[in-house]
Amino acid sequence: MANTVKSGDFFYRTPTEKDDTQWEEIIKKTETFAPPEEIEGMEFVERVVLSVSKPQRKSGDDNSSKNSTRVSNPERDNLNTIETRGINVTCSPLKTVIINPSEPKDEWNDDLFGGYGRSGEFDRLEIKYWIYDRYKISSKRGSLQVTDEDVIDDAGMTDNWKITTKPPTKEDCVALNVKKIDKYNWGRNELNKWYAEVINHTLSHKQVESYITAALNKQHAKGRIDFEHAQRKDVERRSKVQKLGKVIPLNADGAESGNAQRLERLMFPMMREYIQHHETQNLCLHNTKVTNHQDYDDANSSIVAMLENNITLIEEFVDHYRVFKTKPMSVTYRMTQKINSDKEIGVIVEYE
C-alpha cells in the first residue's frame, strides 16, 4: 500500500529569521518533492536560504524588470497560497544565476531568472527570506545557445511554463522569438528547433507555427508598421487619454482576406445598444498581423465595406419582415438522443 501524506504537510509557515533551524527541515522536504532541475546551459550549485533582497530583479540602468521573457503580466494562480499557507514544498524554489562564480562565495552576486511572480508577493507580504536554487553558467552551452544571455532567456522561458504558474502568453513568446531573429537572423527552421529542443512548453504544433509566423511578420514589419501600440488595451488606454468617449476596439487582422468574424460578433451587441440609445457607436481599428502599409489600408477598408454591407442587410431584413411577417427562423426539429426515452435514437423529429 502506498504511503499517504496529509495536504497540510506540504506547507510551512515562512520562518522570519535566516538562522531558524526549521529551514533545514523545509529544504530537506523540498529536495524530496521538488529536487533541483537540470537546466540547459547551466550548472546547479546549491539550494540555500537567501535574503529576498539579494537576487537582483531590476536593471540598474532603468530600474526595469530583468525578466526578459515576460512582456505581459498574467496573474499567477498559486501566489495566494504564500499568504494563506506559506511555503509549498512541492513547488520548485526561486532560481538565480550567480554572475561572479569565480569570486569567494560570500561575495557572490545573483540575478533572478525564475520566480518573479513570487518575488512580487514577498514585497507585499514583507517576507525577508526564501529558498533559492543557485546556478552558474556552464562551460557547455545548450543547443542554439551562443551567449550567457541566451542561456538565461531560455531558462526563464522554460521556468514560466511551470504548471504552478500561468504559462507565457503568445505576446511573451513572440517577443522572445523576435529577439532571437534580431540577434541571429533566425528563420522558421531555427525557431522550430528552438521550440523543439531548447525550451520545455505545452504548445501544440499549430500554436508553435502561429507564434513563429507572428514573430516573422513582426520582424518583417519593423520600420513600416508599429506593433507596440497594436493591442486592444492600447486602444482603450489611448481613448481615455484623448478623451474620445466610448470607443470600441476592433482587430482588423485578416479582414483584407475576408475574415469578418470579429465584426460579425459585434453586430448583435451593436443592435441592442442602438435600440437603447439611438447613437452611433464608434469603432477603432487596430492590427497585429499586417507587415506593410498596403495590407494595413486594405484591412481597414475591408472592415468599412463589411460594416456597410451588414447594415444594408439589416435594413433589407427589416423591410422584408414588415411585408411578409413570416418567422425568420424557428427551432422546428431536434435529433433524438435520449436513451430509454426517445422511441428511436439518431433520427430527426419535430421539436415540441
Give pLDDT tens digits for 263-292. 999 999 999 999 999 999 999 999 988 989
Distances (CA, A) of 131 to 47, 89, 242: 7, 10, 47
Quick count: other Cβ atoms within 10 Å of Cβ 188? 12
298: CB partners within 8 A, 6+ apart: 255, 256
Return the pLDDT at 57: 73
Q: Which amino acid is residue 216, in one-letter code?
A: L
Amino acid at 140: K
Mean pLDDT throughout 7-13?
86
Query: Do residues 29 and 123 touch, judged by C-beta distance below 8 A?
Result: no
End-to-end CA distance of the chain: 55
pLDDT digits (tens, 9 = 90+) for 307-337: 999 999 999 999 999 999 999 999 999 999 9
Which residues is 250 bridged to in the sheet?
285
Output the pTM of the full model: 0.62
Cα distances from 272 to residues 243, 266, 276, 279, in angstroms, run 24, 10, 6, 11
The CA–CA distances, whole Å, from 179 to 121, 150, 189, 268, 275 equal 29, 10, 16, 41, 48
What gap in Å lies between CA 39 and CA 299, rounded to an integer?
Answer: 44
* Cell numbers describing residue 146: 551562443
Neighbours of 312 (CB within 10 A): 10
Instruction: For residue 240, give Cα distances in angstroms to 246, 266, 270.
Output: 9, 21, 21
Shortest CA distance to 116 belongs to which of 67, 158, 162, 152?
67
Reported confidence tier of residue 170, pLDDT bands at 50, 70, 90: confident
Percent of the chain residues past pLDDT 70, beyond the cut: 91
The confidence band for 141, taking pLDDT boundaries of 50, 70 and 90, is: confident
Classify the C-alpha dihedral 235-240-242-243 as positive or negative: positive
Nearest to 289 by CA among 179, 235, 213, 187: 213
- Per-residue pLDDT tens for 109-133? 999 988 877 777 788 888 999 999 9
Question: 3-state SS of 74-91?
Answer: CCCCCCHHHHHHCEECCC
Torsion of CA 197, 200, 205, 210, to 10 degrees: -100
105: DSSP letter: G
What are the start-end ranges of the H helices in 18-115? 22-33, 80-85
